[in-house]
Structure 1
Amino acid sequence: MFIIIMFFIIACMMNLSISRPSLDNEDNRFPVENESEEVRLAAIKRLLEVFGMEDPPASVVRNHKQPPQYMLDLYNTVADVDGVTKDPTLLEGNTVRSFFDKLHSEQIAFVFNLSTVARSEKVLTAELHLFKLRSQASLTFSRHHFCQVSIYQVLDTAKMNISQGRRLVSSRLIPIQSTGWEVFTITQAVRSWISGEHSNLGLLVTVRTLAGIQTDLRTVRFASGQNHHHSKQPMLVLFTDDGRRTTSLEGPLKGSDDTIAGPRLPLPNLTLPAAKHRVARSLDYEDDRERTPCQRLPLYVDFEEIGWSGWIVSPRGYNAYHCKGSCPFPLGQNMRATNHATVQSIINALKLTKGIETPCCVPDKLFSINLLYFDDDENVVLKQYDDMVAGSCGCH
Structure 2
Amino acid sequence: MSLWCMLLLVSLAAGEDNSTTASPCSSCRMRQELRSLSLAAIKEQVLSKLGMKQAPNMTGRQLPKLPPLRHLIDLYGMGVLVPTQGMQGDEPFKPGPLVLDEEDDFHARTEKVIAFAQPHPKLRHSWRGQDILYFRFSDKVVRNRVVRAQLWVYVRGSDSPVESPINVSVLKVLRGSSSAESPVLTPFDNLKVVRPNGSEGTWVSLEVRRLLSDWFKFPRDNLGMVIHAVGPKDSQGRSLVVTDLEEEEGVYAPFLEVHTADNRRHRTKRTIGLNCHENSDETRCCRYPLTVDFEEFGWDWIIAPKKYEANYCAGECPYVFLQKYPHTHIVHLANPAGTAGPCCAPRKMSAISMLYFDQEFNIIYGLLPGMVVDRCGCS
**Shorter-chain-normalised TM-score: which range?**
0.5 to 0.7
Q: Take 1:97 and 1:353, find their aligned partners in 2: how far apart are those partners?
A: 49
Of residues 335, 340, 362, the one that matches 1:379 is 362
Aligned mates of 1:92, 1:136 — CA distance in 2: 46
Distance 1:354 1:114 in 2: 51
Change (3 A) 1:154 1:232: same
SS of residue matched to 1:313: strand
| Counterpart-to-counterpart distance in 2, 1:390 and 1:43 | 13
Q: Are positions 1:255 and 2:270 aligned together? A: yes
Supply the distance in 1 between the matched residues of 2:149 and 2:260 (Cα, whole angstroms): 9
Aligned pairs for 1:326-365 (under 5 A) are 344=322, 346-347=324-325, 355=332, 363=346
1:193-242, Cα deviation, whole Å (9 max, x unpaired): 333376333222233xxxxxx4222397123432236443211122234x
Residue 218 and residue 254 in structure 1: after superposition, are their counterparts in 2 closer, same or farther (change >3 A)? same
Equivalent residue, structure 2, for 1:116: 138
Shift of 1:359: 9.0
Aligned residue for 1:172? 192
Report the Cα distance in structure 2 between the residues aligned to 1:150 and 1:85, rounded to whole angstroms: 43
Aligned partner of 1:47 in structure 2 is: 45
Preserved contact between residue 169 and residue 188 of structure 1 (Cα < 8 Å): no
1:95 and 1:46 map into 2 onto residues whose CA distance is 21
1:77 alignment counterpart? 75
Q: Report which structure shows greater RCO (CA 8 Å, sep ≥6).
A: 2
SS in 2 for 1:84: coil
Q: 1:152 aligns with which of 171, 195, 212?
A: 171
Instruction: Give the structure 1 partner of residue 34 of structure 2.
Output: none
Matching residue of 2:292: 301
Describe how 1:90-109 pairs up with structure 2 within 5 A: 93-103=109-119, 109=131
Give the whole-Å Cα distance in 2 for the aligned partners of 1:72 and 1:129. 14
Deviation of 1:138 (Å): 2.8
The answer to whether the Cα contact below 8 Å between 2:156 and 2:196 also exists between their aligned partners in 1 is: no
Which residue of 299, 306, 312 corresponds with 2:302? 312
The one-letter code sitting in structure 2 at the alignment partner of 1:60 is N
Cα deviation for residue 363 of structure 1 reads: 4.8
Distance 1:67 1:184 in 2: 20
Q: Contact 2:168–2:228 (CA<8 Å) still a contact in 1?
A: yes
Letter in 2 for 1:137: S
2:232–2:240: 8 Å Cα contact kept in structure 1? Answer: no
More helix by share: 1
* Counterparts in 2 of 1:230 and 1:380: CA distance versus 1, 3 Å: same
TM-score, normalisation: structure 1: 0.57
The answer as to whether partners of 2:42 and 2:371 remain within 8 angstroms in 1 is no
Task: State the partner residue of 2:242.
Answer: 223
Q: Is the 8 A contact 1:126 1:185 kept in 2?
A: yes
**In the alignment, is the contact (CA less than 8 A) between 1:126 and 1:237 conserved in 2?**
yes
Q: 1:239 to 1:105 in 2, by over 3 A?
A: same
Superimposed CA distance per residue, residues 324-355 of structure 1 (whole angstroms, 9 cap, x where no aligned partner): 4578999xxxxxxxxxx9xx55358xx99994
Query: For structure 2, which runs of at least 5 residues remain unmatched after alignment?
Result: 1-36, 92-104, 120-124, 274-279, 336-340
Considering only CA atoms, is the larger Rg found in Structure 1 or Structure 2? 1
Q: Shift in Å at residue 86 of structure 1?
A: 9.9
Per the TM alignment, residue 129 of structure 1 is displaced from its structure 2 partner at its CA by 0.8
C-alpha contact 1:327 1:360 (8 A) present in aligned 2: yes
Measure, in 1, the Cα distance between the counterparts of 2:272 and 2:43: 35
Equivalent AA in structure 2 for residue 94 of structure 1: T
Q: What is the rounded CA distance, in whole Å, between the counterparts of 1:114 and 1:312 in structure 2? A: 20
Task: Indicate yes or no: 2:203 matched with 1:206.
Answer: no
The size of the alignment, in residue pairs, is: 292
Which stretch of the first structure deviates more once superposed, 104-113 or 187-196? 104-113
Q: Label 1:246 to 1:387 Cα distance change in 2 as closer, same or farther (>3 A).
A: farther
The amino acid of 2:194's aligned partner reads I
Alignment of 1:30-45 (within 5 A): none
Paired letter, 2:54: P
Q: Which shifted more, 149-158 or 380-389?
A: 149-158
Structure 2 CA distance for partners of 1:352 and 1:310, relative to 1, 3 Å: closer
**1: CA distance, partners of 2:48 / 2:220:** 33
Equivalents in 2 of 1:169, 1:192: separation in Å?
A: 14
The answer for the alignment partner of 2:152 in structure 1 is: 129
Separation in 2, partners of 1:86, 1:124 = 27
Equivalent pair of 2:108/2:264 in contact (CA under 8 Å)? no
Measure the CA separation in 1 of the matches of 2:292 and 2:219: 42
Which has the larger share of strand? 2
SS of the residue aligned with 1:386? strand
What is the RMSD of the two structures over their aligned residues, measured on CA atoms? Answer: 4.7
| Counterpart residue number, 2:210 | 188
Q: In percent, how many aligned pairs have the same letter?
A: 22
